[in-house]
Structure 1
Amino acid sequence: MPAPSLLVISLSPIHRDARVLRQLSVVAEFGHVTTIGYGPKPEGSDEHLQVPDGLSTLPQTPLGIAKLALRRLRAAELEAPASQWVLKAVKGRRFDIVVANEARILALADAVAGGAPIWADMHEWAPEERTHILSWRLLVAPLMDHLCRTYLPRCAAITTVGDRIGELYRSRYGVEARTMRNSSPYRDLPVGEVADDAVRLVHSGAAVQGRNLELTIDVVSALPERFSLDLYLVPANDGGRYLRSLTERAPADGRVRFLDPVPPMMLPDTLNGYDLGVFWLPPVHTNGRLTLPNKYFDYVQARLGIAVGPSPEMADLTERHGLGVVAEGFSPETITASLRDVTAEEIRSWKRHADSAAHELSFAADAQVARDILGTLLAG
């Protein structure tokens, strides 16, 4: 009997998409895996269909934009150039399960599934993905809402990154979403030494406009000289403009450094020598307010203390496990006040607590959610 055929669609560079790579590590346990996305074949894939660079994942053609503007949303569902390419690439093929990553490809997944069950990994809250951008809010947000309303009830399984976002999907679309966090695989790393006279802060992620990394730089600039910050940033698809603006904003005393990004699986090892992993994202939209990103779990596996703002998902875990400090607000002054007087002994305690929580907050529990879904769908 041939192995099950599983299709994973993620219109992202999968080879460096940490969440999809972890997802693939489980999907690969269940059969022959075909992936569709940008960039080279990712680990865990048996066959990869590489979407040509430059093909948009949204209906950003003159006809597509006209359909969005006229609210002809059904007609715009498959108008994106990348979707058109995928439809041709898989024409005539059959799959036992289709895994769809993010709302923008729900109609595409439905079209290629041919009745096979679809697991929709929604990641975040799709209707407000980029609503801080006017053009997105006016043109794209209605399409995301339409796709969720139309196709989520047809999906056999739905996952998202946190409980609160899952509740949003339940309340608006009447669907049950299971939580599959952005957790990292367990790493057996030591609890690093902490100096008495220096605090080494670190932040890893993408240099994307809207992440407000300016705030992080301004906080470090205002902190005493014993604080330093290293940034491991992946440039955005803007030719590196935003990253350059950040380097220009950094203080001249060298306390803020920009280092080359490292592959997702290497991050905990790279970060292990620091003291505090930091992430302060003001709640400019729902996903910002409810963020629980990859980096949080990388910090835990790296055995770091954690410094965040009052973002409820991160604040809950930080306080429950005694992992670090939660600022009372998102102003530079409030965040600076939360850190200014931290002691070496406090940091040592937070790092020990991260070590104690590393198993519970690892990918093992979230991988089991994926295994339960795939096992159920194949059995059904």
Structure 2
Amino acid sequence: MVRSSARPTVLILSYDAIDIDPRVIKQVRRLADEYDVTTCSPGSSPDPRVEHIALDPEDVRPRGRWGNLIDDIAREREWFGWTYDHVPLVQQTRRLLRGRRFDAVIANDAETLGAAISVAGAERVHADLHEFFPGLPVDDTKLGQRQRRYWTWLITRFASRVRSSTTVGREIAKRYGEYGLDAGVVTNASPFRDSTPTPTGSTIRLVHSGNPFRERGLAEIMRAVAASSADVSLDLYLTYNPPTDRQHLVALAEQLGPRITVHEPVSQAELIDALHGYDVGIHVLPPTSENNALALPNKFFDFVQARLGIIVGPSIEMAGIVTERGLGIVTTDFDEASILAALNGLTPGTVDGFKAAAQTHAEALSAEAQVENWAAAVRAITRSE
């Protein structure tokens, strides 16, 4: 790692491990050649060109009887400032970065913002918000509603003060406008892959990758594939988080028969190559939370770079791009019957047309076209010094 005193210094802060976070890794890779970058997060260093300050999520210092009592009172009375100041990762950040000076900070997600402001000042902080935090799903309980108010407090208390902000899609950016943010957009696009579509065979091979959460509608997709009159199959590359949900889907696949196969998860580095052998990526995500309703996830862009056709539900962000670019099919609803109707209309010829559209639009929908928005935000901060 070579440091140049002539280059501005940039801190990239995250409370998730940066080395396994595709979005934040893109920030690191784009900025490391232009700035002296320091990363601060749990996990290992994401890039040999940067200085990495590791946070330890297990480092929770005992608060003692009276400290725990005050914490309980603070939560009950919603003294959110006290609660935030005593989050262990926030305390570690402030302790480990005390006395350091950074010309700009990218603070990832809501809970890093207060710590970033205390390290560098609000005028040097760019907030990158990966979700719509006031709309995160919570239990319909007193505790759950208090958690929602805490997330909202983080946005109104900190995000509205920082120099600039970005989020993952246009609709979420509009929602943040209600909280005083003029957020730009950096989608979760995948890096451009110089590739070409494969011809579609007589069996149309569908694929899905990701977490096996029950609320993501995977069981409905699986049942629709099993019942379809079209010659289709479905392969799922599912993580083990949460394991009980994965076990449920494995058992369902065995029950539904040979059209459905559940595979081991594939690393992000290998995923596009694995997807490229398929024909259609499918992600029909029920709007069980506001963030799900507004979702524009990594996997959508992975499908494009793998040169697949795409089937999505009527989710506003994904459906808009699929329709605008001719990338595939938008189902009429999120239920099994709507998915089945979409599958029954598939033919190898229509799928080849969707793949051709992915080829046409792959560069425009790539990460390289998006990350310049982060670079511009950091440049505006450092040049105002």
Per the normalisation by structure 2, the TM-score is 0.90
SS in 2 for 1:316: helix
Distance in 1 separating the partners of 2:127 and 2:296: 19
The aligned length equals: 373
Cα pair distance change 1:44/1:347, threshold 3 Å = farther
Residue correspondence of structure 1 range 173-252 to structure 2 within 5 A: 173-196=179-202, 198-208=203-213, 210-224=215-229, 226-236=231-241, 238=242, 240-252=243-255
Partner of residue 8, structure 2: 4
Partner of residue 64, structure 2: none
Distance in 2 separating the partners of 1:358 and 1:328: 25
> Do the aligned residues in 2 keep the contact of 1:24 with 1:45 (CA within 8 Å)?
no
Residue correspondence of structure 1 range 345-364 to structure 2 within 5 A: 345-364=349-368
SS in 2 for 1:230: strand
Q: Which amino acid aligns with 2:325?
A: H
For residues 7-56 of structure 1, the C-alpha deviation after alignment (integer angstroms, 9 at most, x for no partner) is: 11111122221111112221213312211222221136512222224468
Deviation at 1:227, TM superposition (A): 1.9
> 95-104 or 203-212: which moved more?
203-212
Q: Which amino acid aligns with 1:319?
A: T
Partner of residue 262, structure 1: 266
Partner of residue 155, structure 1: 162
Distance in 1 separating the partners of 2:258 and 2:154: 47
Cα pair distance change 1:182/1:272, threshold 3 Å = same
Cα pair distance change 1:97/1:322, threshold 3 Å = same
> Do the aligned residues in 2 keep the contact of 1:68 with 1:143 (CA within 8 Å)?
no
Q: Which amino acid aligns with 2:167?
A: T
Identity %: 33
Question: Which of 292, 317, 333 is residue 288 of structure 1 equivalent to?
Answer: 292
Answering whether residue 340 of structure 2 is matched by residue 336 of structure 1, we say: yes
Question: Which of 61, 83, 93 is residue 86 of structure 1 equivalent to?
Answer: 93
Cα pair distance change 1:71/1:225, threshold 3 Å = same
* Larger Rg over CA atoms: 2
Answering whether residue 133 of structure 2 is matched by residue 119 of structure 1, we say: no
Distance in 2 separating the partners of 1:378 and 1:327: 46
SS in 2 for 1:229: strand
Cα pair distance change 1:62/1:208, threshold 3 Å = farther
> Do the aligned residues in 2 keep the contact of 1:30 with 1:374 (CA within 8 Å)?
no
Answering whether residue 313 of structure 2 is matched by residue 309 of structure 1, we say: yes
> 333-342 or 252-261: which moved more?
252-261
Distance in 1 separating the partners of 2:142 and 2:340: 34
Q: Which amino acid aligns with 2:33?
A: E
Distance in 2 separating the partners of 1:247 and 1:225: 23
Distance in 1 separating the partners of 2:140 and 2:38: 34
Cα pair distance change 1:119/1:312, threshold 3 Å = same
Partner of residue 330, structure 2: 326
Partner of residue 143, structure 1: 150
> Do the aligned residues in 1 keep the contact of 2:230 with 2:346 (CA within 8 Å)?
no
Quote the RMSD (CA, aligned, Å): 2.2
Distance in 2 separating the partners of 1:136 and 1:361: 40
Answering whether residue 69 of structure 2 is matched by residue 41 of structure 1, we say: no
For residues 154-182 of structure 1, the C-alpha deviation after alignment (integer angstroms, 9 at most, x for no partner) is: 211100011111111112x1221001111
> 131-140 or 86-95: which moved more?
131-140
Unaligned runs of 5+ in 2: 61-67
Deviation at 1:366, TM superposition (A): 0.7
Q: Which amino acid aligns with 1:244?
A: Q
Partner of residue 99, structure 1: 106
Distance in 2 separating the partners of 1:132 and 1:44: 41
Residue correspondence of structure 1 range 357-376 to structure 2 within 5 A: 357-376=361-380
Distance in 1 separating the partners of 2:230 and 2:253: 14
Q: Which amino acid aligns with 2:127?
A: A
For residues 80-105 of structure 1, the C-alpha deviation after alignment (integer angstroms, 9 at most, x for no partner) is: 22222222222222211111111122
Cα pair distance change 1:157/1:114, threshold 3 Å = closer
Partner of residue 136, structure 2: 129
Cα pair distance change 1:54/1:216, threshold 3 Å = farther
SS in 1 for 2:165: strand
Deviation at 1:69, TM superposition (A): 2.7
Distance in 2 separating the partners of 1:38 and 1:216: 35
Distance in 2 separating the partners of 1:62 and 1:274: 56
For residues 114-135 of structure 1, the C-alpha deviation after alignment (integer angstroms, 9 at most, x for no partner) is: 4660010011211112235647
Cα pair distance change 1:133/1:235, threshold 3 Å = farther
Deviation at 1:217, TM superposition (A): 2.5
Unaligned runs of 5+ in 1: none
Q: Which amino acid aligns with 2:183?
A: A
> 250-259 or 19-28: which moved more?
250-259
Distance in 2 separating the partners of 1:161 and 1:199: 31
